[in-house]
Chains A and B, each alone.
Chain A
Amino acid sequence: MNAVIEAEHLRKTFGELVAVDDLSFSVAAGECFGILGPNGAGKTSTIRMVYAFSPPSGGTLHVLGLDITRQARAVKSRIGVCQQENNIDPDLTVLQNLEVFARYFNIPEAEATRRSRELLRFMALDHRENSRAVDLSGGMIRRLVMARALLNRPELLILDEPTTGLDPQSRHQVWERLDELRADGLSILLTTHYMDEASRLCDRLIIVDRGRLLVEGKPAELVRRHVGRHVIEIADPAEGLPAFLREREVLFENIGHRLIVDLEDGTALYREISERFCDGGCIMRMATLEDVFLRLTGRELRE
């Protein structure tokens, strides 16, 4: 058996609220797998079940071949988790944060210090070893949390929104470290609502909404399947454009002051539109995962 995670008909309810509804997916060893979805889609509820933090209300869930409801402790000792909050120990130094955490896994003291130093080097934090953890920047704290999640040499790394709130430099640094870990064969499960992050990192992903699975696939495949290759965006389109597009039998989305056309090859149409209907801005670009996401989950706010 080669799957690190196997979820079948997974369900999670909080009283009346159904957070995860009949969700099935599997993650292969060595894969980087993403769970995408708008706020409240059930991403965090799902991965909390995977790292045995919250018990499933229904369905079955195996992680590293172990039943999560019966062998939670065994699972937890073999996975690494970066939760959404940076829950470091503010009173301790950077190195102490790791050493204290290593004890929870019963890692012997000398070995814990050795691994901690090694991981701080890997995360480019070794120069801050003796700083108090609260004095670190947001990006550094995030890297410290990642280092902490790797102390027990996990077979599966779980990250809940790993780069939310980070500046571009820090995000790229996190991504590079994840690339290196992936190259070493570590399996990764992550949630995110940054589409560029998902495209950049994930071999495969699912998009969920209201607790249910919408689509599953490789990022590029999903873009081709659901949007096409090109997207033309026209700001403040001239009056005749919708009629023109209907005549050409081209599908479009009208969102007030903006009109969006997805199509396989838009080069010819773009020339025509930009000459005849383009008063404001008008661009053609490659379709992205964000187009897929908005297409599938809608544009209304989720709060």
Chain B
Amino acid sequence: MKLYPPLSRRFLRVWQRNWTVYRQSWKISFIPPLLEPLFYLLAFGVGLSALVGNIRYQGGEISYVRFIAPALIAITVMNSSFFENTYASFVRMYYQKTFDAMMATPLTVEEIIAGEIVWGATKAVIATAIMMVVISFFGLIRYPEGLLLLPLAFLGGLAFGAAGMVCTSLVPNIELFNLPVFLFITPMFLFGGTFFPVENLPGWAQTTAALLPLTHLVNLSRAFTNGRIDAGLLPGIVYLAAFAAITFPLALYKMRKRLIK
């Protein structure tokens, strides 16, 4: 059963639904992106940087706090969109049957899933904006270049959200999300150039890291935060865009397979 066009602007209706629900509990949703960077900056920036001191990064020397603050933003982008489009989307699909209800309206599966992924990206942008406020208090973001972090969060959110949605289309039950989290999210969190430069890794691991989306997101985040904009950033942007350009349609296709019976 094909609806033409399968993907119209109506996907915004699904996004709007999630926005309405989010506004119900925004006071609680605000807390994690507000407190998380504070905790990390305190633990790593104050606690650990006494041990680490300054760090050599791309030929220069920067303080450890300045090194990890942009990484915290990138990690938040990854987590907020990936978890939104895995656990939260799965709850809506499987337990609340929200998608079933939507599928009895003029909405198509493609519009429902597109709305979900764009919502995941939106949550990444909201979380980033909150973190930027906190981190700016420490004087760690250069403006106006730092504002580029917001569109970057949206792009990264699309990439990780769509990847999460592909997982959602595959898992038979919610416990199985542990698998992509353990195999995909956690390694990137640790080795994606987040808490130490990728250059500290052995050669083969550097190559692997270069294939992972978070590595590029962290690089871009660091560049935008420190106001260093140059052509060298282009490959990273192209990589993230390509990653989203593959996972996004794949998620729509796999979810159609899963939902239309």
Contacts and interface: CB of A to CB of B under 8 A. Distances in A.
A87 interface: yes
B13 to A, nearest CB: 5
Contacts of A83: 97, 100-101, 104
B1 A91 contact: no
A81 B104 contact: yes
Contact of A73 (B3, B17, B25, B102): B3
Interface stretch (B105-113, B156-164, B203-211): B105-113
B260 A87 contact: no
Contacts of A51: 104
A54 to B, nearest CB: 6
A73 B108 contact: yes
Contacts of A76: 104-106
Interface stretch (A102-110, A278-286, A292-300): A102-110
Given A54-B260, A73-B108, A106-B10, A100 B17 contact: yes
B16 A77 contact: no
Interface residues of B, dominant DSSP: loop
A252 interface: no
B103 interface: yes
Contacts of B106: 73, 76-77, 104-106
B24 interface: yes
Given A72-B3, A103-B13, A53 B103 contact: yes
Interface string A87-103: 11111100010001101
A96 B97 contact: no
Interface string B245-261: 00000000000000011
A101 B100 contact: no
A87 B97 contact: yes
Please classify how large the interface on chain A is, using the bins under 10, 10 to 19, 20 to 34, 35 or more. 20 to 34
Contact of B100 (A72, A87, A104): A87
Nearest to A70: B2
Contacts of A106: 10, 13, 106
A85 interface: yes
Interface residues of B, number: 25
Contact of B105 (A68, A90, A92, A105): A105
Contacts of A104: 10, 13, 102, 105-107
Given A52-B1, A83-B100, A87-B101, A100 B261 contact: no
Contacts of A85: 97, 100
A29 B108 CA distance: 27
A217 interface: no
B186 interface: no
B21 interface: yes
5 nearest A-B residue pairs (beta carbon) = A87-B97, A81-B104, A104-B105, A55-B1, A87-B101
11 contacts: A14-B261, A53-B104, A55-B1, A68-B1, A76-B105, A76-B106, A77-B106, A81-B104, A100-B16, A106-B13, A106-B106
Interface of B: 1, 3-4, 10, 13, 16-17, 20-21, 24-25, 96-98, 100-108, 260-261
